[in-house]
Structure 1
């Protein structure tokens, strides 16, 4: 009996190591293609020019303040997916790998620390190499939560990707005044490592004894490819259609909602709150907030509005929230959106003071 148990444990460990190895290969190869190499080239260019090439993606939906339209929705959606599709593919591939290849007990050991602060630190640290926008990282956050990762860790991974993205921080320091990069880093850390611990208190108990008792890995290595394909198909069928539909809907109103430069004139200080709320709902590719805040400051608009958008635009979006809502719970997702609005206001105040 003891020999049988020992043999099964060794086999489970071996299969787990194979699964982790496959996940590592997908992670490195996928991100080299979708993120690391393209952003290295972009960084090299910006280090020379110190300018951001291209404008805000909202222009694809029409002129700022233009009425919602099907044409604007279509042009915005096409432009958006032309920018993000490699990262979206990698995000789905990694989500399926986390779900099918990574032993659950190993995942819980890595992320489910004793304290919520420890969980947020683990999830936030895990997010740093991915360099993804909020929508592309949403499937991975869903996969983490479904595998039993703590809500705090899942939230920190979800918002840590876009807010503490090392590439975007480098871009900011290269093309914007230093205050923008500092505020993004400091307030972003407050959101990722602080706000997530508060929001997670709304969640129900996270790990059951049954989860901890699950075997480390599938019994046979040959089971892994089929498990992976099933998981990939499930994520694709469930998440991709709603992602496409919600991006199209948001694209229809993006031109109308993105007239940030006129808000201060019409609303005064209240414009900052509007920017924080609207920015939390709109969807952008990685780094898409940079041309927006640069254009605002160049136009002489409120620094507070730019500060709010510096956090609100990248941190979350309505499509991202729709994708993670069932896995994290709609209550937790809504609370996280509220936390983004609050920290965006903090960003506005700090940037105004600097």
Structure 2
């Protein structure tokens, strides 16, 4: 009888979750990006570089530089961040825990593929996707599946790939797509291979406890509590780190010009800078366009192509409690190495 009474509540939870996902993504992502694609096709631009505007140099480190960047960045992503927090908490409260475990809980390549494919409609930046990833991990999604979902939002973002083709050229889009597939599915597989038998057993026990403790009757009150906890835990440190990076632009990205050539040193330096820095969705497109117009070589541009969107210091901090430290270390290093590979490929292919 209790199971029969719970079924309508479970269905209601699914309906609410899907409504938030579909309506939220349509309003925040799908419809705006649909319109922006026409702008990219007609004007071969999607706006100014959020990093330096029309200048060849980032502003000197100061409180004003920090605040200016935080405000510009916040204006670009706040709606997606709210949606990410809503979805990340709803995953934990409104969806039965056994569903996440069944779909994404196995530490095999199948779960990685599912995680990567599920990311495609999201099209979120690395920080806005982080709360959803944290929610999946709280429901015991396998580390590799969660990593594939996280990186897939940025590396395989269909809208960004279209913008990139119209603005930078279809060869850049092809390079991003090819390396993005390798990163999302290859790195997800590698992370799942890092799961120890003890961690796998602990995850199965955690799922069993979640299932036994799950009460659909308290789902919506639990959702509000989880949303509040996630917001208080993730947002303050996120804001502080964005302010710090906004002030540090002048050190991470020096004066952009022809002196930034295809040398390995510059490719490595900008791969590291791109891995650390934080940008909104598709922000790498106008940044690279502006840098190329100032005379920067293709190699460093290729490095930024893969590193700027995938991870950042704020997004890594937001997920510090969701993954073992060794996993985030491997992911960070892999993104930086991929940036170097992307830069070298851009040079070798004559971009």
Scaled by the length of structure 2, what TM-score is found?
0.92
Distance 2:258 2:324 in 1: 33
> Are the equivalent residues in 1 in contact too, given 2:257–2:295 (CA < 8 A)?
no
Q: Does 1:44 align with 2:66?
A: no
Aligned match of 1:127: 119
Q: Does 1:335 align with 2:326?
A: no
The structural deviation recorded for 1:319 is: 0.5
Question: What are the Cα deviations for residues 92-123 of structure 1, in whole angstroms up to 9, with x where unaligned?
Answer: 010110011111101111112462x2121111
Q: Does 1:27 align with 2:21?
A: yes
> Are the equivalent residues in 2 in contact too, given 1:303–1:352 (CA < 8 A)?
yes
Question: What are the Cα deviations for residues 30-83 of structure 1, in whole angstroms up to 9, with x where unaligned?
Answer: 11111111111111222222x214221112698625432111001000010011
Distance 1:182 1:337 in 2: 23
Q: Does 1:237 align with 2:227?
A: no
Distance 2:12 2:212 in 1: 12
Extract unaligned runs of 5+ from structure 2: none
Q: Does 1:103 align with 2:96?
A: yes
Distance 1:28 1:234 in 2: 24
SS of residue matched to 1:58 = coil
Using the TM superposition, name which of 119-128 and 209-218 deviates more.
209-218
Aligned match of 2:48: 55
Extract unaligned runs of 5+ from structure 1: 1-6
The structural deviation recorded for 1:220 is: 4.4
Aligned match of 1:64: 57
Distance 2:249 2:54 in 1: 6
Scaled by the length of structure 1, what TM-score is found?
0.91
Q: Does 1:251 align with 2:246?
A: yes
The structural deviation recorded for 1:267 is: 8.7
> Are the equivalent residues in 1 in contact too, given 2:137–2:143 (CA < 8 A)?
yes
- Once superposed, what is the RMSD of the aligned Cα atoms? 2.2
The structural deviation recorded for 1:301 is: 2.0
CA shift in 2, pair 1:102/1:245, >3 Å: same
Aligned match of 2:289: 294
Question: Aligned match of 1:18 in 8, 12, 16?
Answer: 12
Question: Aligned match of 2:78 in 76, 85, 91?
Answer: 85
CA shift in 2, pair 1:325/1:46, >3 Å: same
Aligned match of 1:112: 105
Aligned match of 2:183: 191
